[in-house]
Amino acid sequence: MPISKTLPILSVVAFILLAACSTPYQPAGFKGGYSDTQLSDDQFVVSFRGNGYTSEDKVRNSLLYRCAQLAKEQGYDYFAILGGQMSTSTSTYQTAGTYSGTTQVYGNTAYSQGTYTPGATIPINRHRGEARIKLYKEGSQHSGDSVFSAEKLMKYVGPKIGISG
């Protein structure tokens, strides 16, 4: 097969191999992941960005896990979500069409007979979650916020995103 015909096939295979995995739980990178910004000693904005193969549930659970993990890393036992949102951006990927048939050339004229099948338009949804959190230590006062135990949440949510223990 000539190189000119194998390049499109190789590029599609490379795209599928690169994109076929959902975002792992990791710091933000090429395939997505978490990031956080410290607002004060006990307040952060935490976000998790998934790729086109990451479900909204996995993004939400990864965001919650990161909130709990961050609380533990900072020496706190609990956290409250003060605000946040989930969002989705949608784009599309267009596959190439195909032609199958025969072509006959007579002098300067070519005659073609066959079938053209158009490519497919594939929607790609990328989910992102963000939360502003406040951290609390054991026994500290909180102002009626719904407070989550970081340790319990990590044990409950961890297995849902592929983290054990």
**Burial of 62: CB neighbours in 10 Å, binned 0-12, 13-18, 19+:** buried
The per-residue pLDDT for 9 is 53
5-22 pLDDT, tens per residue? 444 554 455 444 444 588
The per-residue pLDDT for 145 is 64
Residue spans of the domains in the chain: they are: 3-161
Both tokens of 138, joined, read 């054991």
96-128 pLDDT, tens per residue? 999 898 888 999 998 889 898 999 999 999 999
Q: What percent of the chain has pLDDT over 70?
A: 85
- Whats the size of the chain, residue-wise? 165
